[in-house]
Amino acid sequence: MYKNKLYILSVVGARPNFMKAAAVHKAIENYNGSTHAAGFRPGVQRQNNRTTEIVHKICHTGQHYDEKMSKIFFDNLELPRPDFYLGVGSGSHAEQTGRIMIEFEKVLQAEKPDLVIVVGDVNSTIACTLTAAKLGIKTAHVEAGLRSFDRDMPEELNRLLTDQLADYLFVTEQSGVDNLLREGINKNKIFFVGNVMIDSLMHYLPAAEKSDILNELRLSSGEYVLVTLHRPSNVDDPGSLTQIMKTLGNIAHLKKVIFPVHPRTMKNINELEMMPKNRGDLILTEPIGYIDFIALIKSAGLVITDSGGIQEETTYLGVQCITVRNNTERPVTVNVGTNHLTGTDLKKIEETAASVLHGKKKNGRIPDLWDGKAAERIVAVLTEGTWE
Ligand code: UD1
């Protein structure tokens, strides 16, 4: 018989949340499936029987709702259908955040979970943390402490506020611990556990190796540039977006460029008065599912992105990455990994791309604790207070 029952409600909302929640979900399933704590932490011999049973449910806010932004990820990542779907969709930041809070409060009042887990930095993350905190429900933030120090980014505001409220702060890199301590967060709440995004990446890498996406898109390994762009600062202004498309067109004269386009970016591209004509081998596609996308990153000669997660995935895979931003909340990918932070100066991006494609590569290594066990450590902290 279990002495304790722990009811955890995990929140997902937008595309980058799904791989993180999937890693936590798998670790909880493993924990519940093992009769001894040692069963979910191979190599650690323990005598005592596990005393906690975790009930885990998932709430999808519906911030991302397209088949290609959401459902395909649940399928690829073997996530169960969400137990609660709030269906909030798009809107202004206040509308989206407000709608999530109103709907999530109803779920919390009916369900009364012991703990809410939020991941990442999207509007769903802060909306659900604030709602839970106001009802006196404990919260855990997975991927806490990351800071770009750029308050023009909606994600930075979400990160700062979520970390002030959360009871458990699970951190992916040392900079996160330093930032939280500097902001006065009690050190007993901070746990440097590693990166759940990398847990999922490692788990699905064998499946990605069997993907047929390179054939489907007629790409040869190492011979193409993979692009993703969706940050409002890059894609919402028609002038900047036109210039970015022009730069990608120039790079496509060196190597084929494959650009799976986020809905926000596609909407804006469609509204551009003038698409640059001379676009070389620049191929735009719809958003691509998780496993195929991992396959595309792994075999790319270069990745150009403004995403957060892709900076980490390229670092783990040792793939060269140019980040089209002036800052990164993930400095370990630059200091230790293969990330080039070029800023948004398009000439610099073009020069860096040319130099990487001509063989001038940055050496990197895998950051500490990005070993596929971050979610196991999180479950250990939640059930036993520590993993050591
Ligand atoms: C959100 C997150 C960002 C994350 C990104 C990953 C916030 C503030 N931003 O940005 O941190 O990196 O997701 O994708 O939470 N849309 C669709 N279909 C969808 C989802 C969105 O067409 O399934 C459209 C919306 O109508 C809207 C646009 O895409 O026009 C932006 O969606 P939104 O969720 O507001 O923000 P993202 O830019 O995706």
One domain for residues 274 and 297 = yes
Number of domains within the chain: 2
One domain for residues 377 and 303 = no
> What average pLDDT is seen over the chain?
94
Please say whether the beta carbons of 310 and 340 come within 8 A.
no
Q: Return the best residue to mutate from 122, 129, 307 for the ligand 1 pocket (most ligand atoms within 8 A of CB).
A: 122
Three-class SS state of 235: helix
Asked whether residue 317 is assigned to any structural domain, the reply reads yes
Q: What is the mean pLDDT of the segment spanning 142-171?
A: 98
Backbone angles phi, psi at 258, to 5 degrees: -115, 125
Asked whether residue 90 is assigned to any structural domain, the reply reads yes
Ligand 1 close to Cβ of residue 91 (< 6 A): no
Q: Return the pLDDT at 107.
A: 98
Q: Return the pLDDT at 332.
A: 98
State yes or no: pLDDT of 39 exceeds 50: no
Q: Return the pLDDT at 278.
A: 63
Asked whether residue 368 is assigned to any structural domain, the reply reads no
* Percentage of residues in the chain having pLDDT higher than 90: 90
State yes or no: pLDDT of 266 exceeds 90: yes
Question: Of ligand 1's atoms, which has the minimum distance to the CA of residue 231?
Answer: 38
Asked whether residue 366 is assigned to any structural domain, the reply reads no
Question: Of ligand 1's atoms, which has the minimum distance to the CA of residue 121?
Answer: 11
Q: Return the pLDDT at 244.
A: 95
Q: Alpha helices of 112-236 — where are they, by DSSP H?
A: 123-134, 154-165, 174-182, 196-209, 213-216, 232-235
pLDDT per residue as tens digits for the range 113-130: 999 999 999 999 999 999
Q: Return the pLDDT at 49.
A: 61
Q: What is the mean pLDDT of the segment spanning 179-191?
A: 98
Q: Can you tell me which residue has the tokens 């979520």? A: 162
Q: Return the pLDDT at 38.
A: 39
One domain for residues 339 and 380 = no
Q: Return the pLDDT at 51.
A: 78
One domain for residues 126 and 228 = no
State yes or no: pLDDT of 35 exceeds 60: no
State yes or no: pLDDT of 42 exceeds 60: no
One domain for residues 243 and 181 = no
Distance 277 CA to ligand 1 centre (A): 28
Q: What is the pTM of this model?
A: 0.94
One domain for residues 79 and 18 = yes
Question: Of ligand 1's atoms, which has the minimum distance to the CA of residue 14?
Answer: 13
Catalytic residues: 230
Asked whether residue 248 is assigned to any structural domain, the reply reads yes
Strand 282-285: give its sheet, edge to edge: 282-285, 256-260, 224-228, 302-305, 321-323, 339-341
Q: Which domain covers residue 99, as residue numbers?
A: 4-194+373-384
- The domain that holds 21 is classified in CATH as 3.40.50.2000
Ligand 1 close to Cβ of residue 67 (< 6 A): no
Ligand 1 close to Cβ of residue 90 (< 6 A): yes
Ligand 1 close to Cβ of residue 230 (< 6 A): yes
One domain for residues 37 and 179 = yes
pLDDT per residue as tens digits for the range 368-387: 999 999 999 999 999 988 77
Q: Return the pLDDT at 50.
A: 74
Question: Of ligand 1's atoms, which has the minimum distance to the CA of residue 123?
Answer: 15
Q: What is the mean pLDDT of the segment spanning 179-194?
A: 98
Q: Whose CA is nearest to atom 15 of ligand 1?
A: 122
Asked whether residue 367 is assigned to any structural domain, the reply reads no
Q: Return the pLDDT at 163.
A: 98
Helix pair 196-209, 15-33: axis angle to 10 deg: 90
Distance 182 CA to ligand 1 centre (A): 30
Please say whether the beta carbons of 165 and 189 come within 8 A.
no
Q: Return the pLDDT at 3.
A: 72
Q: Return the pLDDT at 261.
A: 97
Ligand 1 close to Cβ of residue 223 (< 6 A): no
- Measured in residues, the chain has a length of 388
Asked whether residue 76 is assigned to any structural domain, the reply reads yes
* Percentage of residues in the chain having pLDDT higher than 70: 94
Confidence of residue 274 (pLDDT cuts 50, 70, 90): confident
Distance 210 CA to ligand 1 centre (A): 29
Asked whether residue 329 is assigned to any structural domain, the reply reads yes
One domain for residues 96 and 136 = yes
One domain for residues 37 and 66 = yes
Ligand 1 close to Cβ of residue 64 (< 6 A): yes
Distance 17 CA to ligand 1 centre (A): 12
Distance 13 CA to ligand 1 centre (A): 10
Q: Return the pLDDT at 37.
A: 43
One domain for residues 235 and 269 = yes
CA distance 185 to 168: 10
One domain for residues 111 and 256 = no
Ligand 1 close to Cβ of residue 234 (< 6 A): no
Distance 18 CA to ligand 1 centre (A): 14
One domain for residues 216 and 158 = no
Ligand 1 close to Cβ of residue 71 (< 6 A): no
